[in-house]
Amino acid sequence: MQFTHERTLIVDRPLRAVRGHWAEPDALAGRLSHIRAVAPGPADDLARFVICLDTSHLEFAVQRTMNTDETLCWQSLGTEFLYVLCVTFRPQAGGTCLTLTVAYDPPGFLADVAESLGLARLFERALDADLRRYADALRQRPPAELALVE
């Protein structure tokens, strides 16, 4: 059973600066708590993710399948586990609207049951906390300093 979670955040920073914070896979482990580690792959669009769903750690290869000014997506490779992470960016008056979408199909029947019984809500709360932490970090840094991060 596939689970999809979507969260939106509006920040008072230019699209290019916000996109720069999410463009590199290794930065994702510091932004999203379910991504525990990222290792670079043999090409710029390949990496390995270690994520935590409930108490299970899953390691798998991912490929960046979209890399436009408005959208960044990473998708798991192989058939054992489905994982898709998309971040979209839209200019908003005075800033940027960031939408984060995470879809996954946990392996095994018991994982599906656990997700259905409430773990999906915990995952959503974690995404909310991740985006709040990102917004707080932006508020604590002057815009000029953020532009240098790109």
Confidence of residue 142 (pLDDT cuts 50, 70, 90): low
Q: Which residue has the higher pLDDT, 55 or 35?
A: 35
Is the pLDDT at 59 greater than 90, yes or no?
yes
Q: Where are the domains of the chain?
A: 3-23+69-149
Strand ranges of the sheet holding 82-92, from the earlier edge strand across to the other edge: 3-11, 95-105, 82-92, 71-76, 56-67, 46-53, 35-40
* pLDDT tens digits for range 24-49: 888 999 999 999 999 999 999 999 99
* pLDDT tens digits for range 62-105: 999 999 999 999 999 988 889 999 999 999 988 999 999 999 98
Please report the pLDDT score of residue 113 as a whole number: 55
**Model's pTM, two decimal places?**
0.84
In contact, 37 and 46? CB cutoff 8 Å: no
Distance between CA atoms of residues 83 and 119, nearest Å: 16
